[in-house]
Amino acid sequence: MAEKNNKRQLIGVVIKDAMTATAVVKVETVKVHPKYHKRYKVTKKYVAHNEGNQYHTGDRVVIEESRPLSKTKRWKVISKA
């Protein structure tokens, strides 16, 4: 039987890769104001597991939810976008 994947995936840009096996990824989303209906960008930083330091600053990557790997790491870098 095929395994079902319910993990969230986001696309963002690596903004820091100085740590060992860790990258900080900035994800930008567009929201709409409830009253004025104006669109605006919201950015959030995620600390993601970067196996083998494959991805570097400026790379556009796909990150996926995972089990807690440390105090702040709850995401894994899957591939380049």
Number of domains comprising the chain: 1
1 is a domain residue: no
Residue-number span of the structural domain to which 41 is assigned = 9-80
Residue 22 has pLDDT above 70, yes or no: yes
Looking at the domain assignment, is residue 4 inside a domain? Answer: no
Model confidence, pTM: 0.88
Of 20, 13, 28, the C-alpha closest to 62 is 13
SS3 of the chain: the string is: CCCCCCCCEEEEEEEECCCCCEEEEEEEEEEECCCCCCEEEEEEEEEEECHHHCCCCCCEEEEEECCCCCCCCCEEEEEEC
Residue 2 lies in a domain: no
Q: pLDDT, tens digit, for every residue of 24-56?
A: 999 999 999 999 999 999 999 999 999 999 999
pLDDT at 1 over 80: no
What backbone phi and psi angles, to 5 degrees, belong to 71?
-60, -40
> Is position 16 within any domain?
yes
Q: 16: domain CATH number?
A: 2.40.50.140
